[in-house]
Amino acid sequence: MIPHIVKKIRYIFLSVLLIGCNTDDDPIFVPQPSGAVLAPNVGGPAEPNQVWIDLDTQTMKVNQRDSWDFGFYNGNEFLVILNGSILMAAGKTEFTDIDAVTEANVASLKLSVLVNNFDAENVKYVDDIKGNYLKRTAIDKISINDSENKVYLINMGYAVYKGNETSLHSSGDFRGWKKVRILRYKNNQYKIQYANLSDTTHKEFIINKNNNYLFNFLSLENGIEDIQPPKDNWDLCFTVFTNENVGHGTYSFADFVILNTLNKTAAYQVNTTTSSLTYENFTKDQVDPSKFIYDDQRVIGSTWRSTYAGATVYTNRFYVIKDNIGTLYKIRFLKMTNNEGHRGYPEFEYKPL
């Protein structure tokens, strides 16, 4: 069965049960998800890949982290996210004419629009780390009034590392700087203007909306890119992630797991040290609905593993996940390294409740 229609078929079966059945009807089989052990192809110590996972269908979609630059929101609002997996950042200028912006205009701003520089204030230059993009993004929401849409200085982050490494090396060459201005366009579209800082002319892309997906993704070099699965067909993602080190600003985390909270996926952690619950015996009846966190994509984050005194997986915890249609899963992590101890080889197991 084609993975992306499984959830829709389950909806149809449930509708038939509600509309067409009576007590004399024979039972109707409703397809249910099954558990699995999955090993996402993160790609080894350079962790070059993002892996988007649908627990319902056991499918994993892989893209190279630096294959996209911007994500354009497909919902009712107009907003744009940066590729935080390669440490991109954005700072607003006071210009509306992109061709008028020069290196000299943004020289001082370049000193601030950085990631990993131990500046507590630099969180404002990246998107909301909890994933609440409807509340805040580094680039302001795109106004219907063009005069309110400013030019941004864009730190393009780092390409994935291309060498052979046995230790973690998640950043390659610096990709430089761009100037960018984003506008609304006719027929519910976006227009992005972009150029190198020294250029006096610019290029443009027009981006359409597609409500089947959370975002449409753009590479300034290659155009529209196929990155995330449809919004209903992924629950979590393995990625390098721009997080916050409280008091020290933004900081990059490898071996990170984010949730699809923008499409109502939720989760919470169960600590087996402080409770009598175990992964093996945990049942649906033991789920605590009050503990689900809906507004932070980092519920799992880096809490499943430790990098102190070697890369190891915590064995005293597991997680409960609820997907966008209410299916419950328990999930625990088994590995973060290969047999040689190299990072970038995660493995986890999960079961529906």
> Could you tell me the residue ranges of all domains in the chain?
1-31, 33-65+231-352, 69-80+87-220
**Spatial distance between the Cα atoms of 312 and 146, rounded to a whole number of angstroms:** 50
pLDDT single digits (tens) 314-343: 999 999 999 999 999 999 999 999 999 999
Handedness of CA 114, 118, 123, 126 (dihedral sign): positive
Q: pTM of the entire structure?
A: 0.90
Per the listing, tokens 């960018």 go with 180
pLDDT single digits (tens) 44-60: 999 999 999 999 999 99
Mean pLDDT of 161-188: 90
What percent of the chain stands above pLDDT 90? 82
**Spatial distance between the Cα atoms of 163 and 192, rounded to a whole number of angstroms:** 33
pLDDT single digits (tens) 238-275: 999 999 998 899 999 999 999 999 999 999 999 999 88
Residue 35: pLDDT over 90: no
Residue 193 in tokens: 């203007």
DSSP E strands in the chain: the ranges are 36-38, 49-54, 59-64, 70-73, 80-82, 89-92, 152-155, 177-185, 189-195, 203-207, 215-219, 223-225, 236-245, 249-259, 266-271, 305-306, 312-313, 317-322, 328-337, 343-352
**Spatial distance between the Cα atoms of 197 and 208, rounded to a whole number of angstroms:** 26
Per the listing, tokens 């040290």 go with 273
* pLDDT value for 14: 43
Handedness of CA 345, 89, 156, 68 (dihedral sign): positive
For residue 281, the one-letter residue type is N
